[in-house]
């Protein structure tokens, strides 16, 4: 059973470009979470999605950032008009769903390391 897949693993963008990060959850998982890790810091929650629904986006910056988890295909984290401060590692996690998410274990992907020049 493949784990959480993320691509690309590394992404370089120039200021003002768009970054698209993809996440395929573990097979059978219907909940997806995105976190951001800045250098020398822990992970910060960004957004929690279920299929076709954004459940909690309280950690997402109000501008330039968006996320989706369509009925078919991977979850996408999109950053428009990137700035240097967006440089970070972005991790996706998934959990089975189907019940209360509080006790569920989240399984993490390998991350996408975004560098903005």
Partner 1 sequence: AQSVAQPEDQVNVAEGNPLTVKCTYSVSGNPYLFWYVQYPNRGLQFLLKYITGDNLVKGSYGFEAEFNKSQTSFHLKKPSALVSDSALYFCAVRDPTKRGGSQGNLIFGKGTKLSVKP
Using CA atoms, how far apart are residues 76 and 101, in angstroms rounded to an integer? 21
Is position 74 an interface residue for partner 1 (rule: CB under 8 A)?
no
Among left, alpha and beta (phi > 0; psi -120 to 50; other), residue 98 is left
Are the CB atoms for 53 and 61 separated by under 8 Å?
no
Strand partners, 92: 34
**Among 16, 18, 28, 44, contact with partner 1 (rule: CB under 8 A):** 44
**Among 41, 62, 71, 85, contact with partner 1 (rule: CB under 8 A):** 41
| Residue (54 or 76) nearer to partner 1, CB | 54
Q: How far is the CB of 94 from partner 1 (least distance, A)?
A: 11
Q: Which two tokens stand for residue 62?
A: 């109000």
Is position 106 an interface residue for partner 1 (rule: CB under 8 A)?
yes
Are the CB atoms for 35 and 111 separated by under 8 Å?
no
* Contacts to partner 1 by CB under 8 A: 4, 6, 31, 33, 35, 41-45, 48, 55-59, 91, 93, 100-103, 105-111, 113
């Amino acid at each position: 059973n493949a784990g959480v897949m993320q691509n690309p693993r590394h992404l370089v963008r120039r200021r003002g470009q768009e970054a698209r990060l993809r996440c395929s959850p573990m097979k059978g998982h219907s909940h997806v979470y995105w976190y951001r890790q800045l250098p020398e810091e822990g992970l910060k929650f960004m957004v929690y999605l279920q299929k076709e629904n954004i459940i909690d986006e309280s950690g997402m910056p109000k501008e330039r950032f968006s996320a989706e988890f369509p009925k078919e295909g991977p979850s996408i984290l999109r950053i428009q008009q990137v700035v240097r401060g967006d440089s970070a590692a972005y991790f996706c996690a998934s959990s089975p769903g189907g019940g209360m998410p509080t006790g569920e274990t989240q399984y993490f992907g390998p991350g996408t390391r975004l560098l903005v020049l």
